[in-house]
Structure 1
Amino acid sequence: MPGEAKRVLCEAIEWPRTRWSTFEALGLSPPRGVLLHGPPGCGKTLLARAAAGAAGVAFLSLGPADMYSPSYVGDAEAAIRHAFDLARSAAPCVLFFDEIDEIVDGGGGGGDRRGHGMGRGSSVEARVLSTFLNKMDGVDGSAEDGVLVLGTTNRPGALNAVLLHPGRFD
């Protein structure tokens, strides 16, 4: 299984740069996102960093602690917009979201373990998810080639189903 994850990451990160003519000839667009999942401590984050380093692309990393502020409303949305803008300016780039199920909560956990008072269906959760999807989909006209969104999770069942639609985390 680890070999399969390495192969998929190499294809997603390197092939759009090294085999662009093949993508164009077949009318394909490169993947926008890849989701790695597995138990804690299995090396998902290390694998992501190593794959980006081996491909020679920039690597920007964000985790739940980087996103949320207990005192400022809108910080998570601003952090997501800023991360996508930085990744676009550093393209080719891997934009890495560690524990994406905690950043863009699927609502499966009820209360928030970070102490932000967010629960299922909260307006904060909805705004963060909306901002993330708008940036990933390029609704604001910002989608460009060269940025791969890479997410990791220990709980794939906790992800919001809209994240797994085609063209997002394939």
Structure 2
Amino acid sequence: MNLEEILFQIFLLIAAATDTTRISTVMQDALLLQHRAQWEAVCRDPALVPAAVAESLRLEPSAAAVARIAAEPIDIDGTLVPAGSLITLSTMSAMRDERAFTNPDAFDIGRTDQMRMHAVFGYGVHRCIGEALARAELEEVLAALAARIPQLQLDVPPTISGHFGVRPVSAMRVSWKP
């Protein structure tokens, strides 16, 4: 890569990581606070934090879909996608696939069918380079909130919209009593 390409990649990494991790933080906290028993379980047992993060990423991914260009012809259930075609891969659909997940629309931090390599971070050469950092940030935020403010309450849930790229999220409101 030349210097311009390197700088663009660095900028993209910073911008993408900021938006996706911020949205994922909001959604994981909202999901847990909407499922009070699971929030309380995380507050009691910090070992549940990684599972709570993974399940939040599965149920409400910050990136709804990604675009790719078919490098070669692809047969999908009898439909031929020609090489060079722009295709959209739905992260949201993949992570609610009933063939991969039991009760896929349910939020369950005790899920035993979680993917080993989480699909929200992509695959192959397109696998997110910031996955380890994103997971660490999400886990640290959740662990800190659960340890310091277990009485956290959701006053106004966020709304997340969109079905492509990084999904915009509205502000949520929380409160707590010391």
- Range class of TM-score, shorter chain: under 0.3
The TM-score normalised by the length of structure 2 is 0.26
The TM-score normalised by the length of structure 1 is 0.26
Q: Which has the larger radius of gyration?
A: 2
Q: Which has the higher contact order (CA 8 A, sep 6+)?
A: 1
